[in-house]
Structure 1
Amino acid sequence: MLEVRNLIKKYGDKTAVNDITFTVPDGRVTGFLGPNGAGKSTTMRMLVGLEKPTNGTALVDGQKYRSLVSPLTSVGALLDAKAMHPGRSGRAHLRSLALTHGIPTRRVDEVIELTGLTTAARKKVRGFSLGMGQRMGIAASLLGDPQNIILDEPVNGLDPEGVIWVRNLARHLASKGKCVLISSHLMSEMSQTADDLIVIGRGRILANSSMSDFLALADNSRSLVRTDQREVFAETLTARSITFEPVDTDGLLVQAPSRDIARLGVDAGVLLHELTPQIATLEDVYMNMTRNEVEYQSGTFTTPADSGAAEADAPSPWAGKEAKEQ
C-alpha cells in the first residue's frame, strides 16, 4: 500500500504539492491524473525517496522509503526511462540492480522475457528507442517482485501492442494483490486500466474516487439528433428554451434527455432519423474538472472555412437561435 499524508513540497516560493492526502490500496490499479506541472511526478519522487517533503509523509507499506531494508522488493518504480548508463547493455543494467539486493540472475532473465526484450537486452542502452527504454524501465521496476509498483507515463513511446501489454500487465499485477499506481495522459487507455482515480491540479487533490463514481460526475443529458427537418426542429427547441448547437449539415446536439427529445419530435411532426444519447467519457469529465488547473493555456485555431464564414456578409442562419439560447 502507498500512502501520503498532508504532503507538501515547495521549491522556493513555488508550491509543487499542496497538502495532499491519499491512499493507493493493494489489489487495485489507481490512475494518477493531472495536467503538466500538477505535481504528479514530484509526488511519485517523494514516495521513492528522490525528493524530500517540505512537510507531511510519503509511505510505502507504512514506512518511509529510506527506512526500507530492501527497497526493490518493496516498491518498483519507472520514473525516468533514460536513467540508465548509456554504455551498458540492458541486461548489465538489470544485473547491477539485482546484485545490490541479492536478486538471482534468473530473475533478470525472467523480467527481460516478460517485457519482450530478449533480443535487445544485450545491446547498449544508448541505442535503445524510446519504447525499448520504457520496457527496460518497467523490467527494472518488476525486478524485485515488489508489492508496490509506480509507473510514470509507462506507455510513452510504445506502439499499440505495447500499450495493450502495459494495460494487461497492470491488471495482472493488481489481480495478484499488488498495489499499482500509474500516471498517464492517455485518457482512453486509463479508462480501460484503472479501478480508481486520483486527480490533482496545481498541487491539490481535485478528485479521489473509484472510476465509476468519477464518471458519474458527468452530465449525460445531451443527445445527438439528426433530421432532414433540422430548422423546423431547431425552432421547436428554441420555443421550449432547450439549448442546442448544430452538428454537421443535418444534426443537432441537444441538451435534453433522449426521451423528451423523442416526444418533442412526435409533437412537432418532425421525423428524427437518429437519436443517440451522448455518454461522457473519462476525457470529458477530466477536461471539465481540470480546465482551470492547467499551467499553460493553449490557443485556438481558425480554419480557412471559419475565416470565410466570419468574413461573409450574410448572417448565420443560426444567429437568432443562438441569441435566444443565451
Structure 2
Amino acid sequence: MLEVRNLTKQYGNQAAVDGISFTVPDGRVTGFLGPNGAGKSTTMRLLLGLEKPTSGTALIDGKNYRSLPSPLTSVGALLDAKAMHPGRSGRAHLRSLAVTHGLPASRADEVIEMTGLTNVASKKVRGFSLGMGQRLGIAAALLGNPQNVILDEPVNGLDPEGVIWVRNLARHLASQGTSVLISSHLMSEMSQTADDLVVIGRGRILANSSMQDFLALANNDRVLVRTDERDDFARRLKERSVAFDAVETDGLLVQAPTRDIARLGVDAGVLLHEIIPQVATLEEVYMNMTRDEVEYQSGEFAGQPTPEIATGTPWGTTADKEN
C-alpha cells in the first residue's frame, strides 16, 4: 500500500504539494489526475525518496522509501523512460538493474518478454522509439515483481495495441494484490483502467474517491431524445422551461429525468423513437472540477465541448503511434 499523510513540499514560498493525504490500497488501480503543475510529479518523487518533504510523510507499505530493505521488490516505478544509459542495450540495462538488486539475470528476460521487447532487446537504447522506451521503463518497474507500482504517463508514445496492453497490465497487477498508482492526462484511458481517483490542483486534493462516486458528482439528468417531430417537441420543452440543445437533424439533448421526458412526449402526442440517458464522462467531470486550477490558461477553443457522435458519446482520443 502507498500512503501519503499531510504531505507538504515547499520550494521557497511556493507549495508544490500542500498538505495532501491519500492511500493507494493493495489490489486497486488508482488514477492520479491533475493539470500540469498540480504537484503530481512532486508527490511521486516524494514517495520514491527522490525529494525530501517539508513536512508530512510518504510511505510504502508503512515505511519510508530509504528504509526499505529491498526497494525494487517493494516498489517499481516509471517516472522518466529516458533515464537510462543510451549506449547499453535494453537487455543489458535490465540485467545491470537485476544484479545490483540481488535479482537473477533471468528475470530481465522474463520482463522483456512480458513487455513485448524480445525482438529489440539487443538494440542500444539510443535507437529506441518513444514507445519502445516506455516499454523498457515499464519492464524495469516490474523487474523486482514489486508489491507496489507507480507509473507516470505510461502510455505516452504507445500505439493503440500498447495502450490496451498497459490497461490490461494494470488490471492484472491489481488482481494479483498489487497497489497501482497511474498518473495520466488521458481521461478516456483512466475511465477504463482506474478503480479509484485522486485529483489534485495547485498542490491540494480536489477529489479522493472511487470512480463511481467521482462520476456521480455530475448532474446525470441529461437525455438524448430523437423524434421525427423535433421542432414540435422542442416547442413543448420551451413552454415547460426545460433546458435542451439541438443535436443533428432529429435529436435533442434534454436536461431532465427520463421519466419526465417520456411523460411529456405522451402528453404532447409526439412519438419519441429514442430516449437515451447520457452518462457524464470522466473528462467532463474532471474539466469542471479543475477549470480554475490550471497553471496555464489556453485561449481560443479552451473549455469548448467535445464534438459528439450520434449517440451523444464524445469522440475518443487516439494515442500517438509508435515509430
Answer yes or no: same fold by TM over 0.5.
yes
Equivalent position of 1:294 in the other structure: 294
Q: 2:48 maps to what in 1? A: 48
Is 1:62 aligned with 2:43? no
Q: Which residue of 1 aligns with 2:122?
A: 122
**1:217 offset after TM fit, Å?**
1.7
Question: Residues 17-36 of structure 1: matches in 2 within 5 Å?
Answer: 17-36=17-36
Shift of 1:119: 1.1
- The structural deviation recorded for 1:228 is 3.0
Q: Deviations over 1:237-256 (max 9, x none)?
A: 12111111222233221110
Distance in 2, matches of 1:224 and 1:74, equals 48
- Structure possessing the higher radius of gyration over alpha carbons: 1
The answer to whether structure 1 residue 255 and structure 2 residue 290 are counterparts is no
Letter in 2 for 1:33: L
The aligned amino acid for 2:283 is: E
Question: Aligned to 1:119, what secondary structure does the other structure show?
Answer: helix
In structure 1, what is the Cα distance between the partners aligned to 2:184 and 2:251? 34
Cα distance in 2 for residues equivalent to 1:152 and 1:66: 20
Tell me the CA shift for residue 169 of structure 1: 0.9
Q: 1:3 and 2:3 equivalent?
A: yes
Shift of 1:104: 0.8
Aligned to 1:308: none
Per-residue deviation, 1:301: 4.0
**Counterparts of 1:9 and 1:207 in 2: how far apart (Å)?**
19
Local SS of the residue matching 2:76: strand
Long gaps (5+) in structure 1? 303-326
Deviation larger for 33-42 or 242-251: 242-251
Which segment drifts farther, 206-215 or 15-24?
Answer: 206-215
Partner of 1:90: 90
Q: CA deviation at 1:261?
A: 1.0
Aligned length: 302
Shift of 1:47: 0.4
Q: CA deviation at 1:226?
A: 2.3
CA distance in 2 between counterparts of 1:189 and 1:296 reads 23
Distance in 1 between residues matched to 2:270 and 2:127, nearest whole Å = 64
CA displacement, residues 109-166 of structure 1 (integer Å, 9 cap, x when unaligned): 1111111111111111110001000000000001111111100111111111111111
Where 1:167 maps in the other structure, the secondary structure is helix
Match of 1:318 in 2: none
Alignment partner of 1:205: what SS?
A: strand
Q: Which amino acid aligns with 2:284?
A: D
Identity, in percent, stands at 81
Matched residue of 1:17: which SS? strand
Secondary structure at the residue paired with 1:66? Answer: helix
In the alignment, the residues of structure 1 paired with residue 281 and residue 174 of structure 2 have an alpha-carbon distance, to the nearest angstrom, of 24
Q: In 2 relative to 1, CA 256–173 (structure 1 residues): closer, same or farther, beyond 3 Å? A: same
CA distance in 1, matches of 2:60, 2:27: 15
* TM-score, L = length of structure 1: 0.89
State the match for 1:194 in structure 2. 194
CA offsets, 1:48-99, max 9 Å, x none?
0111111111111111111112111111100001001111111111111112
Equivalences for residues 224-235 of structure 1 within 5 A: 224-235=224-235
Deviates more, 1:42-51 or 1:273-282: 273-282
Equivalent-residue separation in structure 1 for 2:279 and 2:177 (angstroms): 32
Matched residues in 1 for 2:184 and 2:117: separation?
23
Give 1:231 deviation, angstroms.
2.6
CA-based RMSD: 1.4
Aligned to 1:269: 269
TM-score, length of structure 2 as denominator length:
0.90
